[in-house]
Amino acid sequence: MKGKYKIFYVATEIQPFAGTSDFAEVAGLFPKALKNIGHDIRVMMPNYRSVNARRYVLRDVIRLKDMPVSAGDFKATVNAKSAFLPDSKVQIYFLDNPEYFARLGLFHDPQTGEEFADNIERMTVFALGCLKTLQTLHWQPNVIHCNGWRTAMLPILIKTQFADDPFFNQPKIVFTPENFSDWGVYDRDVLEKAGLPADIFRNEFLLDDGKKFSFLKAALATSDRVVAPGKHYLHDSGKASEWAAELKKVSDVDDQEQVGIISGIDYQAWDPETDSFLEENYTLRSVGKKTGNKKVLIEALKVPFEVDKPLAVVWLSENAEKELSLLEQSVDELRSLDMQILIVSDSAEGAVLEYAASLANNYSDTFFGVTDPDEETLHKLNAACDFSLIMAEAPIVNQRKFQLVSMRYGTIPIVQSMNGHADAVVEYDDEHETGTGFLFRNADRESFIQALNRAAQVYKDSKKWVRLVKNAMKENFSIETTGAVYTRLYADLLNNSKG
């Protein structure tokens, strides 16, 4: 342990209160890991209409009521309510302003799908409310840890409007982006109309010759340390985006400014030894029991169970055009591999579902599908399958489901080594029997099939296969491990402060 620190952890989505993404899930788990290490951590998020105040026992805090906040010509009044993260002693504050947060939807109108027109003001209110809460509590953190570009106004204001405030120029700012594809880009005049201070319109925050403002770019410029979800992620992701050149500038800076840390998973919730959803629980010493789970799953899907055939799951998002194309190009080779292939789609409609259904109808000896799996099904899939296929070039969205949980359950990943996928998976070395999965660099049929062939050959060698499964299960991607890594990062940042 390098030290115990006061950490202010800020996010706009935190489970179980609001948000369904893996990013929101990590935000609900990670503070607990830091608390267990011994840090004094406090968390803050907006008090959305969807937050169940009765269930989570939100309480008014007298001194945090009716707090005035302002930035430039922008003014508002906020409150902060207090509660605890479930099953922990981690205190969380909910920034309350009914005008901005008591509405259906977090950032978009659920009826139209359109972004709320006042999201700039909402992000500003939240950031100012966070700063005002710290001042009112007289609680000065060592580290302010911001998550996602919608929290970017916090470091922006600290490094501009509050730059000379001794209360805020001491804490170090750590920023963890959700991804590098969404740059949080708005027309500059939209921010100006919101009445924000002129000094936030710095060149290092702007795009398109100063016509547009990027919250992500501003967060990267104002944070003391940026943490990507893996050491390769920053260099690989977002390169096809509109702002690829800007991302290259960011990713080429000194490694001391940018680091990669894989966000772990809850090893209590995801444990094949105790998982109540499984037909047969198993450990490193009884990995053969995975076969029992495979048999139950396949028979439940009304597909013939063939004990010698490996079962591979293909995870597809609703925007999976490239993955669909790769599957379509590879159908003949996939059928020749003597595998059973389960296509899992998180969408109940659209091209992905249609194509998955057509494969299952035309090639029922090889392909079958599951749509929009619930939590129980996800547990059963990870325990039953032998391989987990990820073909996406897009940034990792469901890393928890697609890699970390798979390895925890002894399901071997076959992934494209782009956008940070290689951060969690080590290529299997046949000679030394090391590694945890199989990688293919290019999103083309030849590379994809080569990886599948390597995987299929190892599966046929029972001794090597069991060794590979155990290699994967021995990896430690727990959220507690993530907390320990971040602790070292905080220590390095605080002990080697910039001049």
Question: How would you write the pLDDT of the chain (499 residues) with one tens digit per residue?
Answer: 457 999 999 999 999 999 988 889 999 999 999 999 999 999 999 999 999 999 999 999 999 999 999 998 899 999 999 999 999 999 999 999 999 999 999 999 999 999 999 999 999 999 999 999 999 999 999 999 999 999 999 999 999 999 999 999 999 999 998 877 788 899 999 999 888 988 899 888 988 888 999 999 999 889 999 888 776 666 655 555 566 666 666 555 544 456 778 889 999 999 999 999 999 999 999 999 999 999 999 999 888 888 889 999 988 776 667 777 788 888 888 888 888 999 887 765 667 777 777 888 888 888 888 888 889 999 999 999 999 988 765 444 455 567 899 999 999 999 887 656 677 899 999 999 999 999 987 777 888 899 999 999 999 999 999 999 999 999 999 999 999 999 999 999 999 864 4
Give the length of the chain.
499
Residue type, 25: E
Nearest to 133 by CA among 165, 85, 96: 96
Q: Say what the pLDDT of residue 419 is.
A: 57
Nearest to 439 by CA among 467, 403, 470: 403
- Cα–Cα distance between 127 and 157 in angstroms, integer? 8
Nearest to 127 by CA among 200, 179, 27, 208: 200
The answer to whether residues 4 and 38 touch, using CB atoms and an 8 Å cutoff, is yes
The answer to whether residues 58 and 10 touch, using CB atoms and an 8 Å cutoff, is no
- Cα–Cα distance between 465 and 287 in angstroms, integer? 11
Nearest to 28 by CA among 39, 41, 38, 37: 41
Q: Say what the pLDDT of residue 154 is.
A: 96
- Cα–Cα distance between 316 and 355 in angstroms, integer? 11
- Cα–Cα distance between 99 and 459 in angstroms, integer? 58
Domains and CATH numbers, the chain: 6-264+480-495 (3.40.50.2000), 284-476 (3.40.50.2000)
Q: Say what the pLDDT of residue 249 is.
A: 62
Alpha-carbon separation of residue 480 from 29, 485, 487 (angstroms): 9, 9, 11
Residue type, 404: L
- Cα–Cα distance between 439 and 417 in angstroms, integer? 6
Q: Quick one: residue 409, left, alpha or beta (phi over 0 = left, psi -120 to 50 = alpha)? A: alpha
What three-state secondary structure class fits 347? coil
Largest CA distance in the chain: 70
Nearest to 386 by CA among 357, 366, 364, 414: 414
The answer to whether residues 22 and 400 touch, using CB atoms and an 8 Å cutoff, is yes
Q: Say what the pLDDT of residue 435 is.
A: 95
Q: Which two tokens stand for residue 429?
A: 């070395």
- Cα–Cα distance between 416 and 276 in angstroms, integer? 32
On the question of a cis peptide bond just before residue 141, with omega within 30 degrees of 0, the verdict is no
The answer to whether residues 370 and 381 touch, using CB atoms and an 8 Å cutoff, is yes
Nearest to 155 by CA among 215, 212, 96, 100: 215
- Cα–Cα distance between 430 and 434 in angstroms, integer? 7
Residues 6+ apart with CB under 8 A from 106: 12, 13, 18, 19, 48, 50
Its sign, for the CA torsion 115, 121, 125, 131, is positive
Strands 185-187 and 172-176: unpaired
Q: Which two tokens stand for residue 83?
A: 């509660």
Strands 172-176 and 143-147: parallel
Strands 367-371 and 59-60: unpaired
Q: Say what the pLDDT of residue 248 is.
A: 60
Alpha-carbon separation of residue 6 from 140, 264, 315, 491 (angstroms): 8, 22, 39, 12
Buried b (16+ CB within 10 A) or exposed e, 237-264: bbbebebeebbeebbeeeeeebbbbbbb
**DSSP letters for 181-196:** S---EEEHHHHHHTT-
Residues 6+ apart with CB under 8 A from 213: 185, 186, 187, 188, 190, 191, 201, 205, 206, 207
- Dihedral angle over CA of 342, 346, 349, 351, nearest 10: -60
